[in-house]
Amino acid sequence: MRIRIVGAGAMGRGIAQWAAVAGHTVELCDVRTEAVTAAVDFVRSMLERAVHKGRMSSGDAAAALERLIPLDDPWAPGPEVELVVEAVREDLDTKAEVFGKLEGALPESAVFATNTSSLSVTRIAAALRDPGRLAGLHFFNPVPLMKIVEVVPGAATRPEIPPALTALVESCGHRAVTVADTPGFLVNHAGRGLVTEALALLEESVADPAGIDRIARDVLGLRMGPFELMDLTGLDVTAAVIDSIWEGFRHEDRLRPSYLTPNRVAAGLHGRKTGQGWFPYGSGATGPAAESPVTGDAGRPVFVAGPEGDGLRSALNAAGATVEDGPEPSAGAVVLVPVWGTTVAAAVSALGLPGARTFGVDPLPAAGRRRVLSVTPAADPVAARDARAVLARAGEGQEPYAVSVVRDTAGSVAQRLLASIVSVAASIAERSLATPADIDLAVTTGLGYPAGPLAWGDRIGAARLLELQRGLHSTTGDPRHRPTRWVTERAQLGLRLTDPGTAPADCV
């Protein structure tokens, strides 16, 4: 296939390298000829690096480079061009102008694709004489390594184009997911579940950014915590995406932005690229402060309360802790209450527990060796330090647990992050913006989560997840936590969250 790529920046050159290596002839052009020269030099250096590392033969690299054709004029006639991929700046008028000029230069048979990450594909296509020839083909940076592409049909896109683009993408070694033309498409939309909830936790002073990141990594198994991720992406970019998706979905509560970001963006606290974000960067930067050492009395008696307590009780017994077995705690014991979707304060009230000595523990199975201790305003600091020391205990020959101390909140940190990740994905599924399989594929490939959000929910179980959503919603009253129809129905019907279910169209 002969492909013309318009725009020789980071995305354009990455798409050019990807397509040329896959065997396609690629015309690379830009209104700035120096950008094309720099892009070709960059692709050459990437191919040379691949050869040096043994990932490609020198012959294959030379052949790929030969298939990359610098083009001086983006609007030059191209009777053999079958596909155009536009990768210019994110501006509706600019993209419409580019495609308008291409429409006059290229054959009617050429398919047009925009690499937009945030603009409406339908609105871009509307400026064309034939809007049916255009679809979205959204790559992620760096293109050769991010092996996922969103195929986005606009409202007028001809039905044969999305399957053809999917086949092209997958023949070149990437995975393709078909996504509705909605704000954020799929990956950026699904990613709001993590960062918006992390910001909400910070707003409520549940934990600081470093503490939330540690829990996200060590309990949920994420490669990066949400605040590390925002610093890497750039808070200016993240905040703009959050705002645009929230506005695009008409102020959907589940996607609500934080009041914390505008001032930080205005102050230039964008992350790595400015040297300071949620954390400092650059020479001399020490990163997040280290966790405080465990200093309490690990031998203090402990009483485990509540219906969720059996697993914690067994684990502490195995670690040699002094676990009381009576119907109520002794006067000297600290009390640990595993809570699911509710608060420690509610458990203190419901079970008649001593407020100064009662603490919450997240029962969510951890990906690493970290436990989370929730502290209420009534807590005795000495008892809190002792509870932390008890929770840090491990069995013989094992490393002690790291123990995060957070402010009491419904569901604690990890539960709220996970519930939000699953809820946002479930809302995408229930709107039929993408299939459950494509949602999970896009998120694991595009965001690097340890599991797709719907498959992750299935690990917990639909009924258990619904209990969590209901607990968060009833305890906080915040509509961002309301149970999703997708989870509610599947819990009631005994279906998995990854099950697309039967549609009415299947029954006629």
CB within 8 Å of 66: residues ≥ 6 apart:
none
Indicate which residue of 117, 258, 412, 420 is catalytic. Answer: 117
Calpha distance 432→485 (Å, rounded): 12
Helix (H, G, I), strand (E, B) or coil at 98: helix
Q: Across-strand partners of 153?
A: 135
Among 138, 174, 189, 270, the active-site one is 138
What's the rounded Cα separation, in Å, for the pair 312 and 135? Answer: 52
Structural tokens at position 469: 């959503």
Under 8 Å between Cβ of 290 and 379: no
d(CA 240, CA 319): 48
Rounded to whole angstroms, the Cα distance separating 76 from 380 reads 75
CB-CB neighbours of 167 under 10 Å:
11
Nearest to 161, CA basis, from 100, 86, 110, 104: 110
Residue 68: strand, helix, or coil: strand
Torsion angle, alpha carbons of 497, 448, 441, 504, to 10: 40
As a whole number of angstroms, the distance between CA 487 and CA 500 comes to 12
CA pseudo-torsion sign 165, 433, 133, 92: negative
Is 117 assigned a catalytic role?
yes
Asked if 138 is an active-site residue, the reply is: yes
Instruction: Extract the tokens encoding 84.
Output: 């155009």
Give the pair of three-digit tokens for residue 121: 């594909």
Cα 370 to chain centroid, rounded: 22
CA 86, 92, 97, 102 dihedral sign is: positive
Residues in Cβ contact with 266 at an 8 Å cutoff, skipping those fewer than 6 apart: none
Q: Which of 115, 120, 188, 427 is catalytic?
A: 188
Catalytic pick from 27, 103, 150, 197?
150
Contact 72, 33 (CB under 8 A): yes
Helix orientation angle between 462-476 and 412-430, rounded to the nearest 10 degrees: 110
The residues that are catalytic are 117, 138, 150, 188
